[in-house]
A = this chain, B = another copy of it.
Amino acid sequence: MLHLKRIGIQTYGENVAFLSAKCPHYKAESFRNLYRVEIAGLGRRIMCTLNIVENGDLIDEHSLGLSSPAFDDLGLPAGTPITLNLAAPPRSLDAVRQKINGAELTPDVIGHIVEDIAAHRYSKIEIAAFLVACAAFMTETEVLALTRAMASVGQRLIWDMPIVVDKHCIGGVPGNRTSMIVVPIVAAHGLPIPKTSSRAITSPAGTADTMEVLANVDVVNDRMQEIVRAEKGCLVWGGRANLSPADDIMITIERPLGIDTPEQMVASILSKKYAAGSTHLLIDMPIGPSAKVRTQEQALRLRKLFEFIGGELGIVMKIVTTDGRQPVGRGIGPVLEARDVLHVLRNEKEAPPDLKERAVFLAGHVLEFDPSLTGGTGQRRARELLESGAAWDAMQRIIAAQGVQQTRFEIGPITREIYAGASGVVHSIDCYRIARIARLAGAPLTKGSGIDLLKKVGESVVQGEPLYRIHATLDADFAFATDMAKQDYGFIIK
């Protein structure tokens, strides 16, 4: 018996246990470093990767340490007596080896893999191996099985409503915060749209990061369902909802590796939406040379896969393509994006027209899911709801219901303008480059950091005129971002 201890180390995506090399009960040689172990106490158990600790400062020989997420997962108080067992490697790893060698996996086997990943039975490198092997090739049947398996692990939301709509953008275009405009428009119309969003992993802001500038986004499921019943919409962080938790784990490996195949994108998005109880789903697919989808051919392939998998899951799917050739709006980073969104919702003259028009376009498509609406009138209805202020009223009710943000976040005070190197017309803006600079500037973690675009595609510039302004909150971030912008500022002027 060892005594449980919390070790305040964040180890995202992997539960880690720390055992003293001097521990007399579990001789450290037999419990070897980096082995998978099962920790059990008071009827609860979790799987961890074992790290052997040589010095006594971190952990004494009568204790077992768990990294913060593992400790929280196990849910037992510090000091609880616990036991340690070598965990046999999950059997489903044999199937991962087969997949690496090019095999097609059965739905059953895919189900076991997903269950094991969600239960933290895989180490990070094992998850990476599965994902990379899947990136090499997956059949449509495998994608369907993966999506179903991911959706069936974790919570599923049940709504006592005939239609529950949602919209999702596949991402890759900075500043594209249409959800925060579409949701209030659709809610103002009266169609239920419970929007759960992620925080950014490799981008400068996720919808949850930007909404958090205005409201609390950490809302438990019961409260979220109350809010949607009352206000028809919400904009909350999806991590609390425990929808497709395997996806949450897999995505922390996929994103830094840049794995973004159509198959994995579809499984990730649709498993979340299926678990969220969506009946109708609009997918926004931006196309552009530096976006995730670069050609019409890619878009077609992705659309077909969305339609097939969504159809099999019983979700009514609508896929639209949008312009992904440059960032949307002016601001990139949570506070700067929230500023643009508020300008649009309040019908202020500073509202970026591209953000507004895109939101109206998408909201119009979502409204067409309403059987009582005359076909083809969605766009007009969306514009009315936005321009009349009804959408802004709905947003204010949603913010109040989720809880107004108590912290006031300011735009990053350390700034530098980046100047055009030549005169001409802005020919293109590299979405990937701009996102990276904004992220180095501190977005999304320091919410006021990011980029404010001063020129967009098609506008004329004179050499030396500012193209955008970098905003940072910390000196170190500012230095990283300006260095990166100096190397290549991401604009092509012709």
Residues of A162-219 at the interface with B, using a CB-CB cut-off of 8 Å, are none
A405 to B31, alpha carbons, bound, how many Å? Answer: 25
Q: Would A53 and B9 count as touching, CB distance under 8 A?
A: yes
Q: Would B30 and A446 count as touching, CB distance under 8 A?
A: yes
**Contact with A258, one of B97, B124, B128 (Cβ below 8 angstroms):** B97
Q: Is A222 close to B, CB under 8 A?
A: no
Residue of B nearest to A10 (CB): B33
* Given A125-B253, A253-B125, A445-B32, A102 contacting B136 (CB threshold 8 A): yes
CB distance from A479 to the nearest CB of B (A): 10
Stretch of A54-62, A280-288, A320-328, A367-375 on the interface side: A54-62
Q: Would B29 and A446 count as touching, CB distance under 8 A?
A: yes
Q: Would B57 and A26 count as touching, CB distance under 8 A?
A: no
Residue of B nearest to A55 (CB): B8
Chain A, 303-326, contact with B by CB distance < 8 Å: what is the 0/1 string?
000000000000000000000000
Q: Is A257 close to B, CB under 8 A?
A: yes
Q: Is A401 close to B, CB under 8 A?
A: no
Q: Which 8 residue pairs across A and B have the least CB separation, nearest first?
A: A8-B54, A8-B55, A132-B132, A125-B128, A128-B128, A136-B136, A29-B445, A97-B258
A31 to B446, alpha carbons, bound, how many Å? Answer: 11
**Contact with A257, one of B58, B86, B126 (Cβ below 8 angstroms):** B126
Q: Would A86 and B480 count as touching, CB distance under 8 A?
A: yes
**Contact with A9, one of B18, B31, B68, B96 (Cβ below 8 angstroms):** B18
Q: Is A133 close to B, CB under 8 A?
A: yes
Q: List 30 A-B contacts (CB under 8 A).
A: A7-B55, A7-B58, A8-B53, A8-B55, A8-B57, A8-B58, A9-B51, A9-B54, A10-B33, A10-B52, A11-B51, A12-B33, A29-B442, A29-B445, A29-B474, A31-B476, A32-B445, A93-B258, A100-B257, A102-B136, A123-B256, A124-B125, A125-B125, A125-B127, A125-B128, A125-B257, A126-B256, A129-B257, A133-B135, A136-B136
Q: Is A426 close to B, CB under 8 A?
A: no
Q: Would B34 and A12 count as touching, CB distance under 8 A?
A: yes
Q: Would B27 and A100 count as touching, CB distance under 8 A?
A: no
Measured as residues with beta carbon below 8 angstroms from the partner, the interface class of chain A is 35 or more
A126 to B124, alpha carbons, bound, how many Å? Answer: 10
Other A-B pairs beyond A7-B58, A9-B53, A30-B474, 7, CB < 8 Å: A8-B58, A9-B51, A10-B52, A11-B51, A32-B445, A123-B256, A125-B127
Q: Is A406 close to B, CB under 8 A?
A: no
Q: Is A340 close to B, CB under 8 A?
A: no
CB distance from A387 to the nearest CB of B (A): 38
A480 to B35, alpha carbons, bound, how many Å? Answer: 14
Copies in the complex: 2
Contacts of A32 in B (CB 8 A): 445
CB distance from A443 to the nearest CB of B (A): 11
Q: Is A40 close to B, CB under 8 A?
A: no
A397 to B7, alpha carbons, bound, how many Å? Answer: 50
CB distance from A257 to the nearest CB of B (A): 5
Residue of B nearest to A5 (CB): B57
A86 to B124, alpha carbons, bound, how many Å? Answer: 22
* Given A124-B125, A477-B30, A132 contacting B8 (CB threshold 8 A): no
CB distance from A59 to the nearest CB of B (A): 9
CB distance from A482 to the nearest CB of B (A): 14
Residues of A12-62 at the interface with B, using a CB-CB cut-off of 8 Å, are 12, 18, 21, 26-27, 29-34, 51-55, 57-58
Contacts of A123 in B (CB 8 A): 256
* Given A12-B33, A30-B446, A474-B27, A100 contacting B136 (CB threshold 8 A): yes
A124 to B224, alpha carbons, bound, how many Å? Answer: 38
Contacts of A30 in B (CB 8 A): 442, 445-446, 474, 476-477
Contacts of A407 in B (CB 8 A): none
Q: Would A132 and B100 count as touching, CB distance under 8 A?
A: yes
CB distance from A474 to the nearest CB of B (A): 5
Residues of A413-465 at the interface with B, using a CB-CB cut-off of 8 Å, are 440, 442, 445-446
Residue of B nearest to A444 (CB): B29
CB distance from A117 to the nearest CB of B (A): 14
Q: Would B136 and A128 count as touching, CB distance under 8 A?
A: no
A30 to B474, alpha carbons, bound, how many Å? Answer: 8
